[in-house]
Amino acid sequence: LTTGALLAQMLVDPVGLILRWYDELQVAQVSLARLVGVRDIEPGTGDAALAPDGRHVRAERVHFGYHEGVDVLREVSLEVAPGTRLALVGPSGAGKSTLGRLLAGIYAPGNGTVTLGGAELSRMTAERVRTQVALVNQEHHVFVGSLRDNLRLARTDAEDAELWAALGAVDADGWARALDDGLDTEVGSGGLALTPARAQQIALARLVLADPHTLVLDEATSLLDPRAARHLERSLSRVLDGRTVIAIAHRLHTAHDADVIAVVEDGRISELGSHDELVAAGGAYAALWRSWHG
């Protein structure tokens, strides 16, 4: 399986992001006030100066714990150049998903900063975060409502023409145009039941509408048959094109074609490099790779 094939099994979830944001903030004991109702970047101080490229991701001396006194991430510093694909690998429980959620703005670091395009994520409004970064995972949310409502969750002001363009971008316009009621079709429980592949296309279309600079992808086990997975892989690779991508690879074989691999061990980044560099370096990644092959 290529990384792309696995990425294709993932889902885009801007709404879940917001819902989880509130939920998980409680869990994370992060002050809500830090993230909600805080000021956006001051106009004129120059997004231009601060954000030469919104796809530039930087974590500096990031600490994080879910519970007081239990550090999950310790002193994580990382810079991801615009348009790079970074894979996070490492043992179960090392902190990969947690780091991914911090880079996606779902949690705020206890100490340290995460910046996107030079602007600190925890100081942005929720609205602005959504233009910067989205978390893509296996949870797919089709809500009770029309197809239009489901798509507009990503951008409430989107016109129908834009919704159709987004559906077209993920190869979903064929079946959607065949629906008697088009965008007015009721979906979700009680409405039209969408196959997992179609639900994933809706989620991808939301991503096209939200159009964030950076995507954090948490890999999933497949819900799809191989043909549907290949089909979706093509759509997803178009959606990923040109964006910064941070893929949380819970299994090693999904990481090796990333531009850069970060090995996360015990809440720290222990190795950073391309697959070939890390294999040649003979460290933890090389050992994992050998044991996986062996």
With CB under 6 A as the contact rule, the residue among 22, 23, 77, 93 that binds ligand ATP is: 93
| Nearest-approach distance from CB 69 to ligand ATP, in angstroms | 13
Q: How far is residue 32's CA from residue 152's CA, in Å, rounded to a whole number?
A: 25
**N residues, the chain:** 294
Q: How far is residue 31's CA from residue 275's CA, in Å, rounded to a whole number?
A: 38
Q: How far is residue 35's CA from residue 26's CA, in Å, rounded to a whole number?
A: 12
**218-240 b/e (C-beta count within 10 Å ≥ 16 → b):** bbbebbbeeebbebbbebbeebb
Q: Does 63 bind ligand ATP (CB under 6 A)?
A: no
With CB under 6 A as the contact rule, the residue among 58, 85, 96, 275 that binds ligand ATP is: 96
What are the distances in angstroms from CA 190 to CA 65, 175, 194? 41, 19, 11
Q: Which residue has the tokens 């600490």?
A: 63
Contact 106, 218 (CB under 8 A): no
Q: Does 20 bind ligand ATP (CB under 6 A)?
A: no
| Nearest-approach distance from CB 129 to ligand ATP, in angstroms | 19
Tokens of 194: 């969408």
Please choose, out of 35-43, 86-94, 206-214, 276-284, the segment that lies near ligand ATP by the rule CB under 6 A. Answer: 86-94
| Nearest-approach distance from CB 92 to ligand ATP, in angstroms | 3
Please choose, out of 54-62, 87-95, 178-186, 190-198, the segment that lies near ligand ATP by the rule CB under 6 A. Answer: 87-95
Between 19 and 27, CB nearer to ligand ATP: 27
| Nearest-approach distance from CB 288 to ligand ATP, in angstroms | 13
With CB under 6 A as the contact rule, the residue among 55, 213, 243, 250 that binds ligand ATP is: 250
The binding site for ligand ATP (CB under 6 A) comprises 27, 66, 72, 90, 92-98, 250
